[in-house]
Structure 1
Amino acid sequence: MSRIIDKLAWIEIVDGKILVARSIGKNVFYIPGGKREPGENDDEALLREIDEELSVALLPASLEHFGTFEAQAHGQPLGVQVQMTCYWAKYTGTIQPAAEIEEVRWFNYKDKPLVSFVDRIIFDELQKKGLLS
């Protein structure tokens, strides 16, 4: 039986580089975001996760759906899929690691091997659209 992990992600690109984060003790980077709490919609979950992980406030009125992507979940048994629903959004504050986040970086397309499987698909999509350098 396959299982799907439902996650949300915030796409932030500056000068052809995408914001990624690495959790404490992990060896792979992820596009920032996380799982919803019971009863949360996409907006509520994404705003909460980004505030917790990066200490910035996404502006709810600026949220714009980018796409939903699915792949084998990194570090999970074969057949466990992650479904990542991605949004663009403007924000206020200064991006800095918080909670379980150990490091934030800005990646080019060539850094794709350093991110999770689903994020590699997202990198490909962003590259196709000419958004990643």
Structure 2
Amino acid sequence: MTTVIDKIAWISMNQGKLLCARSRGKDIYYLPGGKRESGESDTDTLLREIEEELSVRINPETVAYFGTFEAEAHGKTGGVQVKMSCYTAEFEGELRPASEIGELAWLTYNDRGRVSEVTQIIFDKLHEMERLD
């Protein structure tokens, strides 16, 4: 039986680069976001996770669905899949790593090998759309 990790992620672009986060003690980058808590909507999860991890506030009126992507979960065994529902949104504040986040980085398509499997699929999609340099 396949286990699916349901995650919500934020796609934040700046001049052809995608914002990614690396957790402390990890060597791979992910899209910022996380798992929903009981009773949370996708938008609620996005707002909470981004404020916890990046110290900024998402403007709820600007949240827009980008797509849902699935791949094998990085670092997991036994067919564990991650399903990542991605949203774009504007934010207020200064981006700073918080909580378990050790580093933020603006990555290009050349950095594709430095991100998780599901994030690689998103990199491919953004590159095809000519949004990721």
Q: TM-score, normalised by structure 2?
A: 0.99
CA deviation vs aligned residue, 1:65-115 (integer Å, no higher than 9, x gap): 000000000011131000000000000000010000000000000100000
Other structure's SS at 1:48 match: helix
* Partner in structure 2 of residue 68 of structure 1: 68
- Which structure 1 segments of 5+ residues have no match? none
* Partner in structure 2 of residue 32 of structure 1: 32
Alignment partners' CA distance in 2, 1:78 and 1:30: 21
Other structure's SS at 1:26 match: coil
Asked if 2 retains the 8 angstrom alpha-carbon contact of 1:72 and 1:78, the reply is no
Tell me the percent identity.
53
Alignment partners' CA distance in 2, 1:5 and 1:125: 21
Give the 5 Å matches for 1:107-122.
107-122=107-122
Q: Which amino acid is the alignment partner of residue 28 of structure 1? A: I
* Partner in structure 1 of residue 52 of structure 2: 52
The number of equivalent residue pairs is 133
Q: Which runs of 4+ in 1 moved over 6 A?
A: none
* Partner in structure 2 of residue 129 of structure 1: 129
CA deviation vs aligned residue, 1:28-85 (integer Å, no higher than 9, x gap): 0001000000110100001000000000000001000000000000011131000000
Alignment partners' CA distance in 1, 2:76 and 2:49: 21
Q: Which amino acid is the alignment partner of residue 22 of structure 1? A: R
Alignment partners' CA distance in 2, 1:58 and 1:37: 18
Q: Which amino acid is the alignment partner of residue 6 of structure 1? A: D
Alignment partners' CA distance in 2, 1:114 and 1:104: 13
Q: TM-score, normalised by structure 1?
A: 0.99
Alignment partners' CA distance in 1, 2:46 and 2:23: 17
- Which structure 2 segments of 5+ residues have no match? none
